[in-house]
Chains A and B, each alone.
Chain A
Amino acid sequence: MRQASLRRALAAAALAAGVALAPHAAAQELKIAVAADVTSIDPHFFNLFPNNNIAEHIFDKLVQMDADSRMIPGIATSWKTIDPTTWEFKLRKGVKFHDGSELTAEDVAFSIDRVAQIPNSPGPFVAYTKAIVGKQIVDPYTIRFKTAAPHPLMPNDLSTIYIVSRKIATGASTEDFNTGKATVGSGRFKFVRYANGDRVELARNDAYWGEKAPWEKVTFRIVKNEASRVAALLSGDVDAIEQPPIADLPRVKSDPRFTVSSKISHRVIYFNFDHLERSSPFVTGKDGKPLAANPLRDLRVRKAISKAINRPAIAERVMEGQATPAGQLVSEKLFGHVPGMKAEAYDPDGAKKLLAEAGYPDGFNLTIHGPSGRYVNDEKIVQAVAQMLTRVGIASKVETAPMGPYSGRASKQEFSFHMVGWGASTGEASSPLRSLLATFNRDKGLGAVNWGRYSNPKVDYVVEQAIQQVDDENRRAMLQQATKLAMEDLGIMPVHFQYTIWATKKGVAYAPRTDEYTLAFQFRPVK
């Protein structure tokens, strides 16, 4: 047996060497290497980026986001408020599920209910459906949602809910979706196969209601190691990759066989200050003894830290141009961006002066914390910031940890000054404002990720008004006002907006997106 298989192995190896240089498959197939693991195909089980990325292909939503995170019609052709607490959505007619049945308001209502009924979800979608207190199906193509209070973000919320077929998904478990038994959507692609930790295979839906995808077959390969991912592209094993490591970009760009596309992301990289009135755990005097008062509560100290940081240098050197310095919460195209609000200019002398004014002419000692392997070049950013702070007198050390233990400690206020990133996935400044800068308040559901425990009644007031303001222009003005208040007070300190990067082989182009999704139908064959 062993001998036989050995002989077979040798024969196969000889063959392998022979066919190795054969040309790649026809252009109708697209192979993409993605960076993160898809844990389930059930679109309601777990609100996780890689899962949603796959769901975007198989399922439709009422409202879609365009490449700049602006809302565009999906299954809903239009939406409006009938009164302050009622939203009405008109559905597209003639949309067919992959099994040929028609998508109607019944399926929409069913999908919204299913979100709340998923058992054992580690990250449910209920945050986006719980505002709905009542549903009314007016006709098969009209559905109304009642809310308890005015809820301007209804379309934004529903841009995250995937619509499944009521007929097929009734009683279906998450496993039924993973095996494909219940994986019937109305999206551009049909489900073919999911091999956990390895790949997802999809086939084009030729009956799609909108523009059909240019690829007959799509394979997503999961390749987490970034160097291996680049190697997969360079060796021609895949046609496109997401998140090539920045270090390798010059090489990929200089090679005529490949194209790189990138776009500013909705993600801001920022630092949290410890705002608690206490002896901050990782701040000590120059003598190494704890300081009785927390210097980070002093706006002059926060300002000094912000001035000490050379953001253009980080964007140019550490991020190799793949970031834009940030002075606010959301980037230019997003709702609530404040025009003209620039990042703090690099001013080490000003920083030293402010430190002296605040009573720290010689600075103090600080340990900066950061996650490892979570955001683009996260450890390098933290180190560069430590260098810059050390130069103005704040002698800094760096500690990093994987996101698991790191976020656990950060959310318990165990750090003094630490780095995090935030993606405004609803496409609005309200997302960072209510989660990061509003005062931590369980009952109001505000400040859930306000790890530095920043608290400013003025900001709270404006944010609470804004999230109930249905009129878009008024809401935009309020979000801008809250952003200005929070940024002038340095509740958190933004560093930059990172870019999302894709690399493709020549002949394939990608239309890059703010929301970081890698969508097969946005890759096009080009000459």
Chain B
Amino acid sequence: MLVFIIRRSLQSVVVLLAMSLIVFVGVYAVGNPIDILINPQADQIDRERAIAALGLDKPMLEQYWVFLRGAAEGDLGKSFVHSTSALKLILEKMPATLELAFAAMAIAIVLGIPLGLWAGLKPDAFSGRTIMAGSILGFSLPTFWVGLMLIMVFSVMLGWLPSNGRGETVSVLGVPLSFLTVDGLRHLVMPATNLALFNVALLIRLTRSGAHEALLQDYVKFARAKGLSNRRVIGVHVLRNILIPIVTVIGLQFGSLIAFAIVTESVFAWPGMGKLLIDSINLLDRPVIVAYLLVIVTFFILINLAVDILYSALDPRVRLGRGIARCSHAPRVMRAAPLPPTGARAPQTPFRRVVDDFFANPVATFGFGLLCLIVFFAIFAPLISPQNPYDLAQIDVMEGRLPPGSPTATGGTFWLGTDDQGRDMLSAIFYGLRISLAVGAASTVLALVIGLAAGLTAAYLGGRFEAMVMRVVDIQLSFPAILIALILIAVLGQGTGKVIAALVTIQWAYYARTVRAAAMVEKRREYIEAARCLALSPARIVFRHLLPNCLPPLIVVATVQVAAAIALEATLSFLGLGLPITEPSLGLLIANGYQYLLSGKYWISFFPGIALLLTIVSINLVADQLRDVLNPRLRSGPAPAAGRPTPAGGQGCARTSSRRRASSGPSTT
């Protein structure tokens, strides 16, 4: 244990160093802060003097060295714009963000676990299905959109709650807390709910699939056979077994909540760390950006460490220090029968079976049909759209903001109205679908390939290489997506390719982790040992034997990731870091229309919102069903060919869902 902790700490120092260097170089590339900070009236010599005053005239490496020397003494530098220690600024803001994150987590637990349990116990009942369908909404709707809707309803229309800010605080042991005052609570309710929404959905799905699966396990049958009451079976046996992955996810999600409170904090003007980061990025206040990220990474490292230790305490089968820690379990998702089949008679091809099972569920069939229709619209957008909304010669600002049904200048009709630039909304939605789906699919495929290669190689080679890759994954998962995007946009410029690059950078680590977890299990199997005994080349073992067996979980992950990438792109657009504005995706259409939400010109963002919602929901419906039919343990038919005993509760590598946006991955764990 001690060795494990020491090794982890050493690795963490390397992570922090690497992180600081990356951020330093990245922010340096974005631009010279003096360009935007100094008053425009200043002349060239004033500018040079200001640059020198902040030490920005020195070579970058020298600046980094100065930073490192300070950091070694615990000084992360002074904010350029506040002239206050960057660390102090962040620590000042931390209570507000922590409070928001704790409140969100509490809401998620209180709502998510009971609802998920209910849905798992009654998977075929109307209530169970409704809960599941509702949970899809939880991670389909962009956070910024839901936030403003909450403000609209509860502040503007009903006047029940204050629209933004943090309420009155009381100091407890020197820490200002707002949840202890009535005013503070009233301010806290909406942002916390907004932030919790994703996690409510996540916990519902996690609990539901855990419970659903646990009910089929022998120990439950045994407990029932023993005549235990239903309450005891569920409350003690089922709950305890499914709690381990849930606890893990809660721990990991907490880190994400802090890092990704950015959007909620901006919408609700919540004076926390996330808002400080956005403000600092806008002003290129490098000391604060670097300090923020170092604090967040430290947070993640500590949480991960705590989760690992907790995990080993909860589950004796996990042996710390043997390298693979909690991921030694089979991913709960599904494990296809190993190839080659072990000789059992196969009356059906696996493909045929999957197809049959898939369409046995009417909801999934509906989702699949809807998805096909959406893909059709996207592919044939140029043929069916009344207008090419990307051709500036075809649109006219004079026709901007027309309501649905208005006539066009050429005798047609704007069925869904026009946006502020005079784009026909219907055409814009078809074209936007095309871009959104293309961005989602392209980034998913690329991230999948990179993640697969990294994860498989790491799992197969093990040792230093594996440790290194997994530490890089740690960095990735702690890097707020918005910062990656801003850096990439600064370095590369705006454009579809760059957004895809940003999404790939954000997502690959997620696949690497999933595939490594799956491969860790597979590589202990007999067929790999057999292949080794046959002296097959490592490449052949990895690609012909290991890879096909790790694929099924990835297919499901990838399906969900397409949806996640689309949602993430929408959020990037909201933060002003997305695609070129003349070629809007669905996300950008919503973001553009966002400012019209309060104005009554609802159609500008309402219709693209519906289109985005339908797209993400249909993809998730398909992914859900895929997950179920690809999971042999949930199959109603005969037991899988390789009928290996499975660990009770089937905890997966819960870490895989730790990413909030990039994962969107409840159904992947």
Contact = CB atoms under 8 A, between A and B. Distances in A.
B9 interface: no
Nearest to B34: A122
Contacts of B244: none
B463 to A, nearest CB: 41
Given A223-B269, A387-B392, A127 B599 contact: no
A106 interface: no
B610 interface: no
B531 to A, nearest CB: 51
Contacts of B267: 225, 227-228
B515 interface: no
A17 B82 contact: no
A435 B40 contact: yes
Interface string A215-252: 00000011111111011101111000000010111110
Residue among A399, A408, A426 with the highest chain B CB neighbour number at 10 A? A408
A522 interface: no
Given A231-B163, A390-B393, A122 B80 contact: yes
Interface string B24-52: 00000011111111111111111101100
B39 A123 contact: yes
A31 to B, nearest CB: 10
Interface stretch (B179-187, B196-204, B307-315): B179-187
B36 A235 contact: no
A383 B49 contact: no
B320 to A, nearest CB: 29
B156 A40 contact: no
A122 B164 contact: no
Interface string B41-81: 11111110110011000000000000000000000001011
B400 interface: yes
Given A13-B189, A120-B54, A405-B31, A234 B45 contact: no
A313 B180 CA distance: 53
Given A224-B269, A228-B269, A407-B31, A435 B41 contact: yes
A422 to B, nearest CB: 7
A405 B78 contact: no
A408 B31 contact: yes
B385 interface: no
A236 B31 contact: no
B420 A318 contact: yes
A350 interface: no
B271 to A, nearest CB: 4
A526 interface: no
A225 B269 contact: yes
Given A16-B186, A237-B163, A247 B595 contact: yes
Interface stretch (A194-202, A205-213, A508-516): A194-202
A127 B31 contact: no
Given A398-B580, A403-B36, A405-B489, A42 B83 contact: yes
A422 B269 contact: no
A408 B185 contact: no
Given A197-B279, A399-B580, A16 B185 contact: yes
B268 interface: yes
Contacts of A387: 392-393, 395-397, 421-422
Contact of A247 (B40, B155, B162, B601): B601
Contacts of A46: 37, 81, 83
A409 B84 CA distance: 29
A317 to B, nearest CB: 5
A122 B37 contact: yes
Contacts of B83: 40, 42, 45-46, 120-121, 173-175
Contacts of A361: none
B646 interface: no
Contact of A12 (B182, B271, B601): B182
Interface stretch (A85-93, A331-339, A443-451, A475-483): A443-451
Contact of A123 (B37, B397, B400): B37
B46 A250 contact: no
Given A197-B93, A248-B595, A408-B35, A122 B81 contact: yes
Contact of A122 (B50, B92, B179, B581): B50
Given A387-B395, A402-B282, A448-B42, A197 B81 contact: no
Contact of B81 (A8, A20, A39, A175): A39
A401 B36 CA distance: 13
A164 interface: no
B318 interface: no
A39 B577 contact: no
Contacts of A235: 151, 155-156, 159, 162-163
A453 to B, nearest CB: 13
A333 B159 CA distance: 42
**Chain A interface residue number, banded:** 35 or more
Residue among A224, A236, A373, A402 with the highest chain B CB neighbour number at 10 A? A402
Residue among B41, B275, B398 with the highest chain A CB neighbour number at 10 A? B41
A235 to B, nearest CB: 4
Contacts of A247: 420, 595-596, 598-599, 601
B82 A40 contact: yes
Given A222-B269, A223-B269, A225-B267, A231 B151 contact: yes
Contacts of A174: 83-84
Nearest to A420: B40
Contacts of B494: 399-401
Residue among A17, A373, A387, A398 with the highest chain B CB neighbour number at 10 A? A387
B397 A313 contact: yes
A26 interface: no
Contacts of A422: 40
Residue among A40, A317, A435 with the highest chain B CB neighbour number at 10 A? A317
A372 interface: yes
A235 B31 CA distance: 39
A401 B491 CA distance: 11
A318 B581 contact: no
A47 B271 CA distance: 23
A115 to B, nearest CB: 12
Nearest to A386: B392
Contacts of A403: 36, 282
A306 interface: no
Contacts of A391: 393
A337 to B, nearest CB: 19
A9 B178 CA distance: 11
A272 interface: no
B41 A48 contact: no
Nearest to A421: B40
Given A231-B152, A373-B576, A251 B162 contact: no
Interface string A305-341: 0000000011001100000000000000000000000
A8 B596 contact: no
Given A123-B42, A390-B392, A399-B580, A232 B164 contact: yes
Given A127-B42, A403-B36, A197 B30 contact: no
Residue among B84, B89, B489 with the highest chain A CB neighbour number at 10 A? B84
A467 B459 CA distance: 71
Contacts of B283: 39, 404
B287 to A, nearest CB: 11
Contacts of B93: 196-197
Contacts of A395: 392-393
A404 B166 contact: no
A330 B399 CA distance: 31
Interface of B: 30-47, 49-50, 53-54, 78, 80-84, 89, 92-93, 148, 151-152, 155-156, 159-166, 179-182, 185-186, 189, 266-269, 271, 275-276, 279, 281-284, 392-393, 395-398, 400, 420-422, 486, 489-490, 493-495, 576-577, 580-582, 594-601
27 contacts: A13-B189, A16-B189, A20-B186, A119-B53, A123-B37, A123-B50, A124-B42, A126-B46, A174-B84, A196-B89, A197-B93, A197-B276, A224-B279, A234-B156, A235-B162, A237-B162, A248-B596, A313-B397, A383-B581, A390-B393, A398-B581, A401-B494, A402-B486, A404-B30, A407-B31, A425-B39, A448-B44
